[in-house]
Structure 1
């Protein structure tokens, strides 16, 4: 399994096992045990590097003071052999939850003094929460054993960029956040937002050789880690990034530490603190020498997603150096308190990004004063409006504010990115293209209509320092215009056609081919076939050619880089290279949006990069590897004991998809199955036709289900047997006669009876007929009997024939699929390197380039839809509607006039005619 598949499998199993435990609590168990496994395996790696034998490893214990000290000084901690994760697994049925309690207690006693801040009490949340896994020691033991068995699958080596452990850890955190409701916001910033902030920060820091980054509300630490990963692309060498993190809640603080350590960050580069950021600022000092060792922490980048509009205590904070130059945030809303804390810790050439609610942009009082000071001191670099409902636990719209201390410009870049997202379950989610567009806009400080604008300090002053995004960027769609004259008399206003000038520039001559003038300032369509006219128009065809030419040689370039150099590809560098190549090509084509193309690329790059990582880290030989396809199976013994197991369901390619291999190398077998499946679809339609042809009385039979939309097989056969019971023919009668004869007369009867086709009936050795074959022949003859067209009997027999055909076809499909599956496994395993690479090429490059080429078709389809709408918009005028109403009134009045009535009814009809304006008798 690749890391995506493994993470998904572990999440599914873990979520099944947590049963009634809240997601927000269960995360602490599984993530804590994953971390313990990681520490255990790091220690085992050390033993192996130091050439300890297995017997020597088993003797490693606390009483070996010298070696225990050596391990503590090397790793920062020591775990005795009896307490290792692998030892727990090896105990089998002898394992007990007490083993975990003892091990975690021992861990805290075996931390090196230098590493206390990184490891001390890191398992507190796990240790104190074990009781929640069951009411008894036995049930707790059983729950822990399931978790250990599940976590056993996670590889911990993290070679090169193939960071399986880190990926799985963040995947689990993300999914637990999605299931944790409002509590999710306490520990997780969605990955896409984290990537967005990371890319903005990394661009600013890209020329530095060593950096410090800080998150004062660190949560799980994922935001800080993503910043570090993005920055590391530009920084060579290990240990060049120092991580600073502070978190208020202890269990979340433990997550931060675990996450940082498991990403391979050296403890020397980890600076963490469990404290209240607003109350407990971060200077360094030695506990016993606070006055003389005080040192303020300043960093190159601060990133944070603090709790929104939290209450805090601003008393005496006007003297706090963090706030004294800008102002103190109000008691009810600490948003600006967090922002100013972050800003205070920036180096003069640093950058910070912070997620905040929109209110900080326009609220009055103390916050207005802080905004004014930030603008006047030129600290705000950019404001990015995000879509609503992208954070777990809240659906409010938020912003990212980018601040710097030394800025060459006093303009503020304001971006309204609120419309760029896709739906993802209950939440909205930034797409790769949305992130790329925002990052590029910040990087180049680009102004884009209805998206971004550079606002001068003077303009902000004129707006009384109100930074509300809608004051500066109007991202709303233009309201649709309706021409009153065209509504009354028809015709399309020239101005509405001219509004599509970008189309007429891209497709010369198309405007005149679609519209003609009918009066001054008004046009009408030349044709009713808008689609056909546009599709076949010369300049539209030329546009398709132009688009295709823009990507000439692109396929070959990708093949050279990705296929021919598959083991030497640098994933990050190649991603940037392909992105620039796509942008350079697509920017030459009118109407084409580079970010639409980027989204196509991002979709396929996820697949390509995952495969490259596996090939480069596991070895090229895995290209022809086939793995068991494991699926989760839940056995419900009772409500309190859900056994979750993995079982094999066939095979799957490690790199090469079975379906693609079948399409390329076994097309005949695939076609046979396709034909059978198409026939099964046809049979379903024919069933429906038969049912629809039955009258209501005929549908009362038990051969239909309760909703009368499908046949019941067993009952249908019984009904048909009853219909066929009295069917006779000369051959049927003779066969029945044969079956009642004494055996000695049967052979003579066969020779003399000419009405029976004896050759189609199976014989015994003595020449007599086999009874099953006789019965089958009689049934066949009865089924062939021709009942009258459209008769009830004929319909049911047709359904029975379809049922028999359907059963045969389903069996055949199943057998052929099973045979094809087994054959595919062998074919993949026997592929040569060149054959395997040809399939990889079709998996990676062919669909990617085809999807890019489809962009031009999507653009043309968009033009067709807009022109179709424009043609229909004024096609029905108010005169047409009025005329139709008059005709209806006249017809109705005439029909009333044909009625006869007496007394008051007659008076009523006459009044109705008056209202309609018709003739009155």
Structure 2
């Protein structure tokens, strides 16, 4: 089972278990147990690396001082054998809630003092909430609830290099699902993964040439922003343990989430520095509690990232001289947005970068915020502003932005991006797509103006706008209203300016416009062909463009096959999508019209599936391609089992359509015949007179279908007219054939399942690779090829719609109205009726213009 399927299974079980407990609370409990399993299994793995075996693990106790010290020094904590997660499972029915409480108490006692800040009180939320588990009937119900929970969690794999990623993925999956399903209460600490990834990519690209970086999140929440930046930065830097993480969080239970999440991603305890405190009230003069003077250190980092609470009330009293705010001003007490921003900016190194999520209002609100905004612009700190789609964060639908700031910049302009239109709907929320993220990141990196998307704005232009940074002042993404040309409406023809809206097509296909349209004056055009769409596809320039794209896809096919199929065991999963996308964008450089970001979206969607398969293959070996699993088992009343099978990597339908086409075709023919029988039965029903149907015993109560047993009975008794008996004889024949056919189809499907299983399990290496290529590469290339067809189809429809728009002039409409009125008047003259009818007709004639 891949990590997505496992995470979904755990989420489903969590929903079933959580009854009366709020999602926000239940999240803390299930994630706490997952974290404890991680620590336990991590310790077992370490012990085995220093030659402990399963036989002697029960001797790992607090009495063994040497082992306790060894484990503490290397892991930062110690768990005795009796308190391991795996030991809880072995206890079976002897397991009780006291095993958990005792273990958590012991954990707190046995933390390495040097790592106390990382691990101290990390299970507080779980310890205080255990009493809420179960149905409230005491220790027995708590024990039952916890046992069910740990039985589920035990399925999380902890073997091999991918442990951290799998566990971390499940952890974030649960956090995001709890946030999405519980509204603001559970979502306030969580930044959607796509927004986090966008911020991370921008920051990581800025830091990519550094060997070691320090990053800080002063409102860390679940820690996902820090983790994503670290992941992206590591991808560019190319070595492990090169990132130091600083995190601060006000709420205790959320602070615990930050620490757990960082630890479970395999980050060394020495690289984690966390603090539970109020960011605005208690700034970060970092020091150790035992020796504050000697360990005092002002924090300056390479990158700060944050998603603070929006427009929070704060107390600016006495902070006029606070070095964070002194050079810019104090945010109003009713809105702390700029206070958080200035805090972040203060903690940057001179060459650092920061990204912060804020409500859109910070761009234009006046008063104290206007003063701070002016100072930020005059001191050249604001680098980029990105307007996000509305309704993108859990629990709030307000428009938000990402602001990128730096302390020292060489350029003195501001890049403003309106990315509010790029998203997909997902339930009640909007979600950034992969193509949206990439387009934004590429625009930031290139720092370029893109029509209807971004603009590089000079400081003078911003000053001319009185330091108002409201995005629509600089980037117009509004949809233009449809115009109607007066001349064309009266006399026909297509206005040149409306045809010019398709200029990118006329530039790409130089002869196309003149082959589709003619003009006498250059101002208005007439179509020169009856079928625009067919003429479009037959144009030599268009056909050359299609051939060029087919050549690109052929080359991309070869590249993908070499990258993914030939090297599937060594593909670097963390970096490979960047390699593939770079090749795709490079291939499409000289190809006009097609949107490379749409192509990238197809690639990203495909990569998500491909990477899941690669993760399984690289973890379990290439033979896993030939593995078939039981998906479901069904037992008949007699106790006989039947199974539904599925390939671990290869879907059954893919294998069937590739290697068992004869059997698939035979089954399809049978299904087609079943449909024909159904249609024939409906026709037979229509052949019966309505009075026969009303009194017929061989039909159901609704009189809309035959009843087989009743049909048989009627035929034996010959209790119907000769015509009806003829119909019923045909119906009986159809029922007989249908019954036999259904039986054959059922057996055929069962045989096909068995045969498919056999075929997969005995595939040669070449056959396995060919099928994997079909699943990964061919499916993606099909999507990319369809993009070209869709583009031309859409263009053709727009041209046809434009032609239809002016095909009937107002003069034509006037003539049609006059003709219709005359015809109607003639029909009215032929009408007769009562005195009142005659008066009504006369009045109607007046309306039509007759005196």
Q: 1:384 is paired with a residue of what secondary structure?
A: strand
Choose the corresponding residue for 1:663, options 622, 643, 657.
Answer: 657
* Partner residue, 1:838: 770
* Partner residue, 1:759: none
> Residue 802 and residue 410 in structure 1: after superposition, are their counterparts in 2 closer, same or farther (change >3 A)?
farther
Is 2:815 aligned against 1:824?
Answer: no
Q: 2:275 is paired with a residue of what secondary structure?
A: strand
Does the CA-based 8 Å contact 1:446-1:453 persist in structure 2? Answer: yes
Is 2:255 aligned against 1:253?
Answer: yes
* Partner residue, 2:207: 205
Q: 2:320 is paired with a residue of what secondary structure?
A: helix
> Residue 693 and residue 417 in structure 1: after superposition, are their counterparts in 2 closer, same or farther (change >3 A)?
farther
Provide the C-alpha distance between the structure 1 equivalents of 2:347 and 2:632, rounded to a whole number of angstroms. 50
Q: 2:355 is paired with a residue of what secondary structure?
A: strand
> Residue 562 and residue 910 in structure 1: after superposition, are their counterparts in 2 closer, same or farther (change >3 A)?
closer
C-alpha offsets along residues 769-795 of structure 1, whole Å, 9 cap, x if unaligned?
xxxxxxxxxxxxxxxx9954xxx5555
Choose the corresponding residue for 2:448, options 405, 424, 446.
Answer: 446
Q: 2:410 is paired with a residue of what secondary structure?
A: coil
Q: TM-score, normalized by length of structure 2? A: 0.94
* Cα drift, residue 355 of structure 1: 0.8
131-140 vs 222-231, which moves further: 131-140
* Partner residue, 2:78: 78
Does the CA-based 8 Å contact 2:633-2:644 persist in structure 1? Answer: no
* Partner residue, 1:468: 470
1:24-423 counterparts in 2 under 5 A? 24-134=24-134, 135-136=136-137, 137-157=139-159, 159=161, 163-287=165-289, 289-290=291-292, 293-423=295-425
C-alpha offsets along residues 90-112 of structure 1, whole Å, 9 cap, x if unaligned?
11111112211221122212212
* Partner residue, 1:620: 622
Does the CA-based 8 Å contact 2:96-2:143 persist in structure 1? Answer: yes
Is 2:672 aligned against 1:678?
Answer: yes
Does the CA-based 8 Å contact 2:248-2:255 persist in structure 1? Answer: yes
Does the CA-based 8 Å contact 1:244-1:272 persist in structure 2? Answer: yes
Q: 1:381 is paired with a residue of what secondary structure?
A: strand
571-580 vs 134-143, which moves further: 571-580
Q: 2:302 is paired with a residue of what secondary structure?
A: strand
Q: 1:271 is paired with a residue of what secondary structure?
A: strand
* Partner residue, 1:507: 509
* Cα drift, residue 324 of structure 1: 1.0
Provide the C-alpha distance between the structure 1 equivalents of 2:513 and 2:2, rounded to a whole number of angstroms. 52
Provide the C-alpha distance between the structure 2 equivalents of 1:588 and 1:800, rounded to a whole number of angstroms. 66
1:627-638 counterparts in 2 under 5 A? 627-629=629-631
1:491-502 counterparts in 2 under 5 A? 491-502=493-504
Aligned length in residues: 843
* Partner residue, 2:638: none
Provide the C-alpha distance between the structure 1 equivalents of 2:813 and 2:587, rounded to a whole number of angstroms. 50
Q: 1:392 is paired with a residue of what secondary structure?
A: coil
Provide the C-alpha distance between the structure 2 equivalents of 1:806 and 1:363, rounded to a whole number of angstroms. 73
Is 2:780 aligned against 1:856?
Answer: no
Is 2:738 aligned against 1:806?
Answer: yes
Q: 2:56 is paired with a residue of what secondary structure?
A: helix
Q: 1:106 is paired with a residue of what secondary structure?
A: helix
Does the CA-based 8 Å contact 1:162-1:613 persist in structure 2? Answer: no
Provide the C-alpha distance between the structure 2 equivalents of 1:517 and 1:794, rounded to a whole number of angstroms. 68
Provide the C-alpha distance between the structure 2 equivalents of 1:286 and 1:884, rounded to a whole number of angstroms. 90
Q: 1:243 is paired with a residue of what secondary structure?
A: strand
Provide the C-alpha distance between the structure 1 equivalents of 2:492 and 2:691, rounded to a whole number of angstroms. 54
* Cα drift, residue 203 of structure 1: 0.4
1:513-524 counterparts in 2 under 5 A? 513-517=515-519, 521-524=523-526
Does the CA-based 8 Å contact 1:188-1:219 persist in structure 2? Answer: yes
> Residue 696 and residue 365 in structure 1: after superposition, are their counterparts in 2 closer, same or farther (change >3 A)?
farther
Does the CA-based 8 Å contact 1:351-1:403 persist in structure 2? Answer: yes
* Cα drift, residue 904 of structure 1: 5.7
901-910 vs 540-549, which moves further: 901-910
Q: 2:274 is paired with a residue of what secondary structure?
A: strand
Provide the C-alpha distance between the structure 2 equivalents of 1:631 and 1:597, rounded to a whole number of angstroms. 41
Q: TM-score, normalized by length of structure 1? A: 0.87
Provide the C-alpha distance between the structure 1 equivalents of 2:645 and 2:839, rounded to a whole number of angstroms. 84
Provide the C-alpha distance between the structure 1 equivalents of 2:374 and 2:692, rounded to a whole number of angstroms. 83
Once superposed, what is the RMSD of the aligned Cα atoms?
2.5
> Residue 19 and residue 574 in structure 1: after superposition, are their counterparts in 2 closer, same or farther (change >3 A)?
same
* Cα drift, residue 367 of structure 1: 0.6
620-629 vs 150-159, which moves further: 620-629
Choose the corresponding residue for 1:725, options 703, 708, 716.
Answer: 716
* Cα drift, residue 609 of structure 1: 2.1
1:536-615 counterparts in 2 under 5 A? 536-615=538-617
Q: 2:518 is paired with a residue of what secondary structure?
A: strand
Provide the C-alpha distance between the structure 1 equivalents of 2:21 and 2:634, rounded to a whole number of angstroms. 20
Q: 1:818 is paired with a residue of what secondary structure?
A: helix
* Cα drift, residue 630 of structure 1: 5.6
> Residue 517 and residue 803 in structure 1: after superposition, are their counterparts in 2 closer, same or farther (change >3 A)?
farther
Provide the C-alpha distance between the structure 1 equivalents of 2:725 and 2:130, rounded to a whole number of angstroms. 69
C-alpha offsets along residues 197-239 of structure 1, whole Å, 9 cap, x if unaligned?
1110110001111110111111111111010000001234433
Does the CA-based 8 Å contact 2:164-2:264 persist in structure 1? Answer: no
Does the CA-based 8 Å contact 2:178-2:187 persist in structure 1? Answer: no
Provide the C-alpha distance between the structure 1 equivalents of 2:57 and 2:17, rounded to a whole number of angstroms. 33
| Unaligned runs of at least 5 residues, structure 2 | 636-640
Provide the C-alpha distance between the structure 1 equivalents of 2:133 and 2:127, rounded to a whole number of angstroms. 11
C-alpha offsets along residues 10-39 of structure 1, whole Å, 9 cap, x if unaligned?
222222332343322221121111111111
Provide the C-alpha distance between the structure 2 equivalents of 1:236 and 1:286, rounded to a whole number of angstroms. 32
> Residue 671 and residue 624 in structure 1: after superposition, are their counterparts in 2 closer, same or farther (change >3 A)?
same
Does the CA-based 8 Å contact 2:157-2:163 persist in structure 1? Answer: no
* Cα drift, residue 828 of structure 1: 1.4
220-229 vs 617-626, which moves further: 617-626
Q: 1:884 is paired with a residue of what secondary structure?
A: helix
> Residue 787 and residue 301 in structure 1: after superposition, are their counterparts in 2 closer, same or farther (change >3 A)?
farther
Q: 1:277 is paired with a residue of what secondary structure?
A: coil
C-alpha offsets along residues 498-519 of structure 1, whole Å, 9 cap, x if unaligned?
3322212222332233223377
Does the CA-based 8 Å contact 1:317-1:323 persist in structure 2? Answer: yes
Provide the C-alpha distance between the structure 1 equivalents of 2:714 and 2:361, rounded to a whole number of angstroms. 78
> Residue 381 and residue 161 in structure 1: after superposition, are their counterparts in 2 closer, same or farther (change >3 A)?
farther
Provide the C-alpha distance between the structure 1 equivalents of 2:700 and 2:362, rounded to a whole number of angstroms. 63
> Residue 209 and residue 727 in structure 1: after superposition, are their counterparts in 2 closer, same or farther (change >3 A)?
same
Q: 1:233 is paired with a residue of what secondary structure?
A: helix
1:683-762 counterparts in 2 under 5 A? 683-690=677-684, 700=694, 711=705, 716-727=707-718
Q: 2:404 is paired with a residue of what secondary structure?
A: strand
Provide the C-alpha distance between the structure 1 equivalents of 2:9 and 2:616, rounded to a whole number of angstroms. 18
61-70 vs 495-504, which moves further: 61-70
Does the CA-based 8 Å contact 1:354-1:401 persist in structure 2? Answer: yes
* Cα drift, residue 883 of structure 1: 2.8
Does the CA-based 8 Å contact 2:708-2:735 persist in structure 1? Answer: no
* Partner residue, 1:870: 802
Q: 1:499 is paired with a residue of what secondary structure?
A: helix
353-362 vs 62-71, which moves further: 62-71
* Cα drift, residue 552 of structure 1: 4.1
Does the CA-based 8 Å contact 1:13-1:632 persist in structure 2? Answer: no
Does the CA-based 8 Å contact 1:189-1:305 persist in structure 2? Answer: yes
* Partner residue, 1:652: 646
Does the CA-based 8 Å contact 1:491-1:518 persist in structure 2? Answer: no
Does the CA-based 8 Å contact 1:3-1:168 persist in structure 2? Answer: yes
* Partner residue, 1:912: 844
Does the CA-based 8 Å contact 1:629-1:648 persist in structure 2? Answer: no
